Structure 1
Amino acid sequence: MKLHFKLLVPILCLSMLISCTNSSTKNPQVSDESISKSVVLSQKEFQKSIDGKNTDLYILKNKNGVEAAFTNYGARIISLKVPNQHGVQTDIIVGFSSVDQYIQSTEPYFGSTIGRYGNRIAKGKFILDGTTYSLSINNGVNSLHGGKKGFQDVVWDTKQINEQSIAFSYFSKDMEEGYPGNLKVKVIYNLTDANELKISYEATTDKKTVVNLTNHAFFNLNGEGSGTILNHQIQINANFYTPVDSTLIPTGKHEPVADTPFDFRKFSIIGKRVADDHEQLKNGKGYDHNYVLNNPNGNQLNHAASVEGDKSGIIMEVFTIEPGLQFYSGNFMQSKNTFKGGSKDDFRTAFCLETQHFPDSPNQPTFPSTVLNPGMFYNTTSVYKFSIKK
């Protein structure tokens, strides 16, 4: 009998509720700096054979004109076009215009599904039932986002359910990247007529293992190519965060955000305190930390965060049943890659909000467990909701 394993499952459901403005109300004087360039993706550029499997480009559209693009290389989201406060379609996901660019990128995670384990595991080791498992080391002395060839670098099987839903499936073999168990994974994207882009995860295993799936979308709510995200305002529903050492592994403590640069319980500009003289900001080179979310409703969807684009008026709200949220302020973006609109991945021109269980949970007995046993059914759906500033 399959069990619903609710504590383990990270929810990244992107739910979008957008106030669509009639074209007759568009402001013709809108600055080019506040809107993203309109880019038409070429399907040919996403058709490639990798490890004997074919990749492709997939488009979902709803009746309101919201459009999302995906590729099965990494089961990743490439673009998401929603209207800004002037009714102009704005691509709020940064990404590339070809599979080759994703393969060659110095940042492998743009928009991808992350697994088997999102975030870091200390020294690439953990113990289950007395057995020590050694993972690929790919981030200093640690393992990050599933190892050297995580789920972002594999070709997923694809089933286009209809014009608004698509499912990606992957079979991760026992001991792939050092993880035990044959893991069957499915990720379903559904763009509803309520302007919700839902991402649901499913997984089963035949051997005890650890799992922490998430999505690594990089957002700029002013649109790709619009410049820094430091003037976005953010609010995070968390009284505590998990401080990290110099290698970004949690110390095991829950530290209060009060009276620190990590206090976003009320809306604050991202860049206001990012350069403060604080040990944790030095360790992360900015914000790259897990927040311990306030969770008043147990396993129900809870409000995790809200972000407002300062130029676009687009508001993104994040809801999840997960205990944690990784806030990353684009600290390692180095202008080495060119996005689909022609702009570079300049320093802090995108941010991430990854719903998750805590980093290094397999080695932290006081953290919520990420163990998945045979017979359990890993199943979740999560939400990122978009609206327009009134």
Structure 2
Amino acid sequence: MQNQKRISLFTLKNNQGIIAEILDYGAIIKSLKVPDKTGETTNVVLGYQTPEDYLTDQYYIGSVIGRYANRISNGSFELEGKRFQLSRNNDQTCLHGGFNGFNKKIWETINHTANSLTLQYVSQDMEEGFPGNLTIMVSYTLTEKNELKIDYQAVTDLPTHVNFTQHSYFNLSGRRDKTIENHFLQIFSNQYLPNNEQSVPKGHFESVQQTPFSFIEPQQISEALQSTDAQMRLDLGINHSFLLKTKNSPDLQLAAGLFSPASGIAMKTYTTEPGIHVYCANYFGKENWKMTASNFPQYAGICLETQHFADSPNHSTFPSTLLLPGEFFNSRTIYSFENIDQNTE
């Protein structure tokens, strides 16, 4: 219960053996079970064991992020000559929508079938400092092609900035006690955004060539995480965005590939978004890591967050995150699964 409202759990299934459990609280993917190379059903996302853990979670495990995913520097932006001061919940930045973002809301159920779920949330004008009454719908659909489709739609009655993403931590081995260091990652991008000391992009893209951020060819994640590169050490690992397209468009494209030799499960990520932000649970297991997330080891999962770029409202050269009245925001992300028996561990 939250504010005397019931939190519900929904189950989606396809005929290929994939099962997704989704909460209306935070539109959270609680579990996503996929057949591995032996045919055994394996949960490929991190999740908590009790509802109470989700209520106290500070690390967005499995949730939909909004009104603005990632960071906005100084927690503010200027729009139509007016400066809007947002919640500053991460030092001097606004992170993932503020103190009580979309991950802390109970969403309204619009439709539920055997293989799909549509949830809606209405964000009031000036919630966490963001202008405009915003209505967002998120639809999860399991297809017979072993895809989990995530569709976002949004409208507003005042100009505002929006950036949504799904914040699941993937671990394709299915083992809570194992890390993703032996996973192979491929990112279909030649450029990434270097960060400053506040983990906010400096504002320019750089080539991934000759850096630990080069995943143009698949490489074991541990190789990058062990790098002494200054950018890699800012956040104890990867916490960076990669460029997929320089302008907004509805074109769906392949963004990333992930593979676990232990389970044989491979996942491809497709998106219409201009970027993908990669985070490897760098602070899990650390002394300053609070609540139940301490039960997970460092690098327990990897987030493949399809989204616009952090701090875009303050960078005119980034693809725009501005949503105007009368416009319809549409975005799609697909996580596609298959299993490959490599006979390796």
Superposition TM-score tier, normalisation by shorter sequence: over 0.9
Corresponding residue of 1:68: 20
- The answer as to 2:310 corresponding to 1:377 is no
Aligned pairs for 1:305-384 within 5 A: 305-334=256-285, 338=292, 344-384=295-335
**Partner residue of 2:188?**
237
Q: 1:178 to 1:323 in 2, by over 3 A?
A: same
- Whether the 8 Å contact between 2:246 and 2:318 is mirrored in structure 1 is no
Q: 1:363 to 1:263 in 2, by over 3 A?
A: same
Measure the CA separation in 1 of the matches of 2:316 and 2:304: 24
Residues 119-134 of structure 1 aligned to structure 2 (within 5 Å): 119-134=70-85
Provide the secondary structure at the position in 2 that maps to 1:250: coil
Deviation of 1:120 after TM superposition, in Å, equals: 0.3
Alignment match of 1:203 (pick from 151, 154, 157): 154
2:9 aligned with 1:57: yes
Task: Say which SS state the counterpart of residue 53 (structure 1) adopts.
Answer: coil
Q: Deviations over 1:205-255 (max 9, x none)?
A: 000000001110111000141411111010101110010101011111111
Query: What's the offset of the Cα at 1:193?
Result: 2.5
Name the SS of the counterpart of 1:273 in structure 2: helix
Match of 2:222, SS state, is helix
Q: Does 1:251 align with 2:202?
A: yes
TM-score (norm 2): 0.94
Residues 18-68 of structure 1, C-alpha deviations (whole Å, 9 max, x = no match): xxxxxxxxxxxxxxxxxxxxxxxxxxxxxx2x1342211111112222110
What corresponds to 2:214 in structure 1? Answer: 263
SS state at 2:295 partner: coil
Structure 2 residue aligned with 1:277, among 221, 228, 237?
228
The residue identity in structure 2 corresponding to 1:178 is G
Unpaired runs of at least 5, structure 1: 1-47
Say whether the 8 Å CA contact 1:212–1:356 is kept in structure 2: yes
Residue 83 of structure 1 corresponds to which residue in structure 2? 35
Of residues 135, 138, 143, the one that matches 1:192 is 143
Contact 2:248 2:320 in 1 (8 A): no
What SS does the aligned partner of 1:376 have? coil
Report the AA paired with residue 304 of structure 1. A
Q: What is the distance in 1 between the residues matched to 2:249 and 2:125? A: 32
Using the TM superposition, give the Cα deviation of residue 381 of structure 1 relative to its aligned residue in structure 2, in angstroms.
2.0
User: In the alignment, residue 49 of structure 2 is paired with which amino acid?
Assistant: S
TM-score, normalized by length of structure 1?
A: 0.83
| Equivalent in the alignment of 2:54 | 102
Letter in 1 for 2:282: N
Q: Secondary structure at the match of 1:59?
A: strand
Change in Cα spacing, 1:297 to 1:303, as seen in structure 2 (3 Å) is farther
RMSD value, Cα = 1.8
Which amino acid in the other structure matches residue 72 of structure 1? D
The alpha carbon displacement at 1:129 in A equals: 0.6
**1:79 counterpart letter in structure 2:** S
Is contact 1:296-1:302 (8 Å) kept?
A: no
Cα distance in 2 for partners of 1:52, 1:157 equals 15
Q: Which has the higher contact order (CA 8 A, sep 6+)?
A: 1
Return the alpha-carbon distance in structure 1 between the equivalents of residues 4 and 324 of structure 2.
31
The within-5 A match list for 1:25-64 is: 48=1, 50-64=2-16
2: CA distance, partners of 1:318 / 1:65: 20
Q: Select between 261-270 and 220-229 the one with higher mean Cα deviation.
A: 220-229
List aligned pairs for 1:107-118, cutoff 5 A: 107=59, 109-118=60-69
Distance in 2 (alpha carbons) for counterparts of 1:188 and 1:297: 21
Q: Residue 196 of structure 1: CA displacement?
A: 1.9
Shift in CA distance, 296/123, structure 1 to aligned 2, threshold 3 Å: closer
Cα distance in 1 for partners of 2:156, 2:221 equals: 40
Report whether the alignment pairs 1:135 with 2:86. yes
Q: Name the SS for the 1:54 alignment partner.
A: coil
Partner of 1:291: 242
Structure-2 separation of matches of 1:297 and 1:204: 17
1:148 CA drift (Å): 0.4
Task: Tell me, yes or no, if the aligned pair for 2:22 and 2:30 is still in contact at 8 Å.
Answer: yes
CA distance in 2, matches of 1:208, 1:224: 44
In terms of Rg, which structure is larger? 1
Correspondence for 1:303: 254
1:138 and 1:253 map into 2 onto residues whose CA distance is 25
Distance 1:205 1:128 in 2: 15
Distance 2:32 2:233 in 1: 32
Between the two proteins, the alignment pairs up a number of residues equal to 338
Q: Any stretches of 5+ residues in structure 2 without a counterpart?
A: none
Contact 1:66/1:82, CA 8 A, preserved across alignment? yes
Q: Aligned to 1:78, what secondary structure does the other structure show? A: strand
CA distance in 1: counterparts of 2:145 and 2:210, whole angstroms: 39
Residue aligned with 1:285, SS: coil
